[in-house]
Amino acid sequence: MIISKLKSRTIVVLFALAATSAASFYFFQTKSSAAGFNGSIFTTTFDGQTVNANIYSSKDAVYLSGGPQNENASGLPDGTYYFQVTDPSGATLLSTDAAECRQLVVFMGRVAAAEGPSCQHFTGIPNSANGSTPIKLSPFNDTPNSGSQYKVWLIRQGSNTTVASDGMHLNFSPSNAKTDNFKVVFVACGNCTPTSLLGGRKFYDANGNALYDDGEPLLEGVQILVIAGATTQVVTTDASGNWSLAIPTGSEYFVIEFLPFTGAEGEPGSFWNQTAPVAGAEGFQGYIGTANGDQTGLNFGNVCYVLDSQGNPVVATSPCDVSYTPPPDPTPTPAPTPCPDCSPTSVISGTKFYDANRNGSFEPGEVPVANVQIVVVLSSSDGVVVTGATTDESGNWSLVVPFGATYLISEYVPDTDPEQEPGSFWEQTAPAADDEGFRGYRGTLNGDQSGFNFGDICFNVDTNGNPVASSVPCTVHYPPPLPTPTPTPDNQ
């Protein structure tokens, strides 16, 4: 319940696209080639704002992320990946959970979500600068390295990547992996007890100065989210506006407020707004740190707005009600007028072609490519659905979808057959990448739409091992989906 609340409050947009089933994400797996893959990975903190911090005070503080850091950088190929932690040489696996638990999804070039069964790893807050979502690396053992160094690996899933018989080790080609090193250096607190107390008060910031002043009202019933090490808990402020929680000393902590509503009985149009702590450069309003002793000044301030006679929001002189139920709308939204002539569905379609001249355009005479998978992410009032289609012998594909849905359409770039064409690989040429590195189409369906075309070129390896463009299409091959793990009895 706590985690679902975090997702629904903080990372709605990203998880609406990323938090789908493992079966749906099979479509997003991409090519595996000897040429390696683009993009970068880096270690970071829970909020994803630090890139390549590389030195951390505890293992619980280390998260993995990846994706472009500026408009000119390349993103990672979309797909499902494994990750693991080893010693710096890579010879000793330090991750202690099963490989199936250590999976993540890259979507639109960015690490988007944890993947796998219920043991999947915890996720942090998306980086507001590039939309990537950090994935927690622990649990993993201490490194045998005398310099406290570790190595994290991001490993592409494909026909050349398998899970060993122990369920933990991975067999993979080095060209299908990226790595990054980091250190964990714990600074002992000589006077600390085994636990430290986090706490603060929730106050009505009537003067809007982001500080608690004597006489300002204290608020009961406001929910505070605390994440510290393996602890994730929501604490509710008491009648005096106070909250507190004991956590293990040395834990990295992350504390935010769940902003309340004014309730079903609240004044129509009224709402709460947070004033304290002051937002940082990235807009974050909360507290992050290491608990090396009690820290009881983690205060949160709010004001409430109500509507004046002209419908404009003004600060209320006294606190509004605190609730986690929204107030009524100021004016009910009228129901949309039915369209008797509108079809409830639309047809989207396109062609997959071999872009021999690599100009990114489908031209007469260019060869169609069959059996390529097209991925379609649809968002409508019914939720988010991931579906797809496969191109036919004429390279054409089509799909019937709900009228009015918002769409993202991308190609699942195939492999070549590793036995028939070893070392060969496909590369997408059309459509051109947008500012975010996305090669696909997005928009809203207001009727049948065609022209969603995708162009690719294939590269073979010459006698010197160099990739050269092929004049004709290569084979189209996809890795098989991951097998469903066989349940085993407990303690076996």
- Out of 140, 155, 184, a domain closes at 184
Pair 20, 142 in one domain:
yes
Pair 362, 302 in one domain:
no
| Bridge partners of residue 152, in order along the sequence | 85, 180
Q: Is residue 90 part of a domain?
A: yes
Pair 286, 218 in one domain:
yes
pLDDT at 253: 87
- Out of 124, 159, 184, a domain closes at 184
Answer whether 431's CB lies under 8 Å from 404's CB.
no
Output the six-digit token pair for 398: 């089509």
Q: Is residue 22 part of a domain?
A: yes
Q: What is the 3-state secondary structure (H, E, C) of 61-75?
A: HCEEEECCCCCCCCC
Pair 354, 233 in one domain:
no
Pair 45, 171 in one domain:
yes
* pLDDT score of 283 more than 80: no
pLDDT tens-digit profile of 214-230?
A: 999 999 999 999 988 77
Pair 90, 213 in one domain:
no
* pLDDT score of 31 more than 70: no
Q: Is residue 365 part of a domain?
A: yes
How much is the pTM?
0.47
Pair 160, 36 in one domain:
yes
- Out of 277, 298, 315, a domain closes at 315
pLDDT at 16: 32
* pLDDT score of 308 more than 90: no
pLDDT bucket at 6, cuts 50 / 70 / 90: very low
pLDDT tens-digit profile of 245-270?
A: 999 887 888 899 999 998 877 788 88
pLDDT at 4: 32
Quick check: bond before 338 cis, omega within 30? no
Q: Is residue 484 part of a domain?
A: no
Mean pLDDT of the region 368-392: 90
- Cα torsion 159, 164, 170, 175: sign: negative
Count of structural domains within the chain = 3
**Residue 106: which CATH number?**
2.60.40.1930
Pair 21, 114 in one domain:
yes
Q: Is residue 487 part of a domain?
A: no
Pair 66, 177 in one domain:
yes
Pair 170, 36 in one domain:
yes
Across the chain, mean pLDDT equals 83
Q: Is residue 141 part of a domain?
A: yes
Range of the domain at 414: 345-469
pLDDT at 490: 56
For residue 232, give the amino acid letter. Answer: T
* pLDDT score of 27 more than 50: no
* pLDDT score of 71 more than 60: no
* pLDDT score of 335 more than 70: no
CA distance 203 to 224: 13
Residue predicted with more confidence, 88 or 18: 88
How far is CA 95 from each of CA 61, 83, 141, 181, rounded to the nearest angstrom?
Answer: 15, 9, 6, 15
Q: Is residue 330 part of a domain?
A: no
Pair 31, 92 in one domain:
yes
pLDDT at 188: 60
Pair 403, 258 in one domain:
no
pLDDT at 168: 96
pLDDT at 1: 29
**Residue 373: which CATH number?**
2.60.40.10
pLDDT at 339: 57
* pLDDT score of 26 more than 60: no
